[in-house]
Amino acid sequence: MIDIEVVYALPDKQTLLKQQVADGTTALDAIKASGILNKYPEIDIATSKLGIFGKLIKPDTVLREKDRIEIYRPLIADPKEVRRKRAEEGKVMKKGGGDL
């Protein structure tokens, strides 16, 4: 058995579920076993991106001791699109602090 964590974050709270799974368990199997899909039915595991400590993984990735599986939510706004829109409106993005 290995110790792992399954994490899902919303804007106002984070859920972290610790569990033990058999050696050789995949990320998808661990997510299903954790019960997080019942707690958050809005998670579409077929389209959600997954990661371990910030690095993207595939659902069939075999887990290792102390892995933290992160379930990522889709972006509400595309950062590139927001910057493009801001540039069209003539707004200046400030870098750093203070005026030069």
In percent, the amount of the chain with pLDDT more than 70 equals 90
Q: What is the pLDDT of residues 4-40, one digit of tens each?
A: 999 998 888 899 999 999 999 999 999 999 999 999 9
Q: Which domains does the chain have, with CATH numbers?
A: 2-81 (3.10.20.280)
H/E/C letters for each residue in the chain?
CEEEEEEEECCCCEEEEEEEECCCCEHHHHHHHHCHHHHCCCCCCCCCEEEECCEEECCCCECCCCCEEEEECCCCCCHHHHHHHHHHCCCCCCCCCCCC
pLDDT at 84 over 90: no
pTM across the whole model: 0.70
